[in-house]
Amino acid sequence: MMPRIFIAVDIPQLHQERIFEIQNKFSTFKLKQVKQSHLHITMKFLGEVKESTVQNVLESLSSLNMAGFDASIGQLGLFPKKSSPKVLWVGADGSFTELHDAIENSLNKITFPKDDKEFIPHITISRIKHLSKTEKKDFLSIYGKLKNIHIGNMRVNTVKLKKSILTPSGPIYETIHEFELQ
């Protein structure tokens, strides 16, 4: 079986705990909460790739030329839109777009196409299964009260190439390699 890989920035334990508190505010709804230990910012999802391709990705990312940066975690958001929410997320503010572009340029050399959609740095915290009209109204009310929340600041010094192993009880993430930013 080919590994399913992605590139991510992990977030500090303290921020994970604060996000867990936010998730609990939505616990009465039919949501699939992301495990606290799985909270991260996906920089690029590569999908299922051959082992030889994993090596090429490692080599490409080793030449990543990007300085570490300060970031702020906060502000709730919804994908695809507020009127039909499917994903609840927390935003990430900092040089994430520049980091994403550097990763894209690095991987473009080994034929990974650039993403079509605009990159929005975020941490997925819940997937929304189904909300009745009443539930949606209640959900959006809680969302509105928490929308402008500030989780905290962090320093981004590394990006990680991770493997996702799908199991019946949810994914298991393993770090394949950690890349230091300059």
Active-site positions read 40, 122
Three-class DSSP labels, the chain: CCCEEEEEEECCHHHHHHHHHHHHHCCCCEEEECCHHHCEEEEEEEEECCHHHHHHHHHHHHCCCCCCEEEEEEEEEEECCCCCCCEEEEEEECCHHHHHHHHHHHHHCCCCCCCCCCCCCEEEEEEEEECCHHHHHHHHHHHHHHCCCEEEEEEECEEEEEEEECCCCCCEEEEEEEEECC
Q: CA–CA separation, 128 vs 31, rounded Å?
A: 5
Contact 89, 125 (CB under 8 A): yes
User: What is the DSSP secondary-structure string of 51-66?
Assistant: HHHHHHHHHHHHT---
